[in-house]
Amino acid sequence: METTQLPTVPLGATGLPITRVGFGAWAIGGGDWEFGWGPQQDQASIDAIHRALELGVNWIDTAAAYGFGHSESVVGRALQGLERRPYVFTKCSLLNDGSGRVVHNLKRDSILREAEASVRRLGVDAIDLYQIHWPNPEADVEEGWAAMAELKEQGLVRHIGVSNFDVEQIRRAQAIAPVETLQPQYSLIEREVEAEILPAALKDDIGVIVYSPMGSGMLTGAMTRERVEAMPADDWRKSDDWFTEPQLTRHLALADRLRAVGERHGMSAGAVAVAWTLLNPAVSGAITGFRRPDQVDPIIDAVWLTLTEADLAEIAGDTDASASANANANADADADV
């Protein structure tokens, strides 16, 4: 498989040189679990992974919870026979209660079992980055993190990180072993982490990879009311607040603004949404989910996109500021002639 080159940045103190965009494998877990995305064809998933790798993406983020092992198995199949495999990141602590619903477990023995099972499904000798998926039950954060440190000492995982932790929970973990990475939700729709969590990660050199930078599909430019209504019953988004009123109207208007900005740059609304998250100095990379190979190219463009002040003002809905920034840019251009 021939690949192109994409720019890389260090993932915090891990030293891993990751591309600014990675392949997110949540949706390819299918719909047969509590937070599934509806029916998914495994071959389409594998083709999407291969297309992302061809374009230069060098990391995949998955989790044991995605389809309760199915996503990891599909990723493992996609990696078979590759001359050079990407970095593989996965997560632990969410288990199947037997009915397809999630239960949380941070007990040592459970995490050790999960890691061994993930290694088998992925077909790797070691997991490049292993992450606690959620800090629940919160009383067990220390036990869970000690187990993660143990796995790193054993060599079954190379680096350890956390997902969805707040600053206080990160500090508790750091008292046991360094927290190397953080995976928070971050997008134009969900910006809560800007206040404390991202600044703290930047200060401590914790590598940050953000999930749902396109608002779980809402900001791709392809979402419509009709598409939301037609979502299958086993797609978790169908009843989520982001995809229902009163938020639906507001988010579709935001997607329209992203589409307009993208058209000026010859790029998709989704690429603009992803590029916006990459502007934050704490963010090393964005996790982007693909279910088909044709979805990959328009989003990978985000790594080449530089948003202007006018773009950012338009995205924010500040039409006056956008017009002013465009006028200033035109004046500068005239002066350079």
Q: What pLDDT, in 10s, does the model give residues 177-231?
A: 999 999 999 999 999 999 999 999 999 999 999 999 998 778 987 777 777 777 7
| 8 Å CB contact between 112 and 149 | no
Q: Where are the beta strands (DSSP E) in the chain?
A: 8-10, 17-19, 21-24, 59-61, 87-92, 94-96, 102-104, 129-132, 160-163, 181-183, 207-210, 283-289
User: Helix, strand or coil for residue 181?
Assistant: strand
pLDDT tens digits along 141-153: 999 999 999 999 9
- Residues 219 and 251: their CA atoms lie apart, in Å, by 8
pLDDT digits (tens, 9 = 90+) for 261-315: 999 999 999 999 999 999 999 999 999 999 999 999 999 999 999 999 999 999 9
User: What pLDDT is attached to residue 208?
Assistant: 98
- What is the average pLDDT across 161-185? 98
Tell me what pLDDT residue 2 has: 63
Query: Which two structure tokens, joined as six digits, stand for 107?
Result: 């007990």
Q: Is the pLDDT of residue 335 over 70?
A: no
| CATH 3.20.20.100 for domain 8-306 | yes
Higher pLDDT, 25 or 35: 25
Q: How far apart are CA 194 and CA 212, in angstroms?
A: 15
Q: What is the pLDDT of residue 232?
A: 80
Residue 242 confidence (pLDDT) above 80: no
The predicted structure's pLDDT at residue 32: 79
Range from 90-94, 124-128, 218-222 carrying the lowest mean pLDDT:
218-222
Residue 243 has a pLDDT of: 80
Active site residue 211: no
Q: Report the interhelical angle of 108-122 vs 141-154 (nearest 10°).
A: 50
Catalytic residue among 66, 87, 186, 211: 66
Distance CA 204, CA 71 (A): 32
Is residue 238 pLDDT above 80, yes or no?
no
DSSP 31-100: SSSTT-BS---HHHHHHHHHHHHHTT--EEE--TTTTTTHHHHHHHHHHTT-SSPPEEEEEESEEE-SSS
Mean per-residue pLDDT, 1-15: 87
- Whole-number percent of the chain with pLDDT over 70: 93
Residue 324, pLDDT above cutoff 60: no
Q: What pLDDT was estimated at residue 180?
A: 98
Percent of the chain with pLDDT over 90: 78
Name the average pLDDT for the chain: 91
Q: Write out pLDDT tens, residues 28-78.
A: 998 878 888 788 999 999 999 999 999 999 999 999 999 999 999 999 999
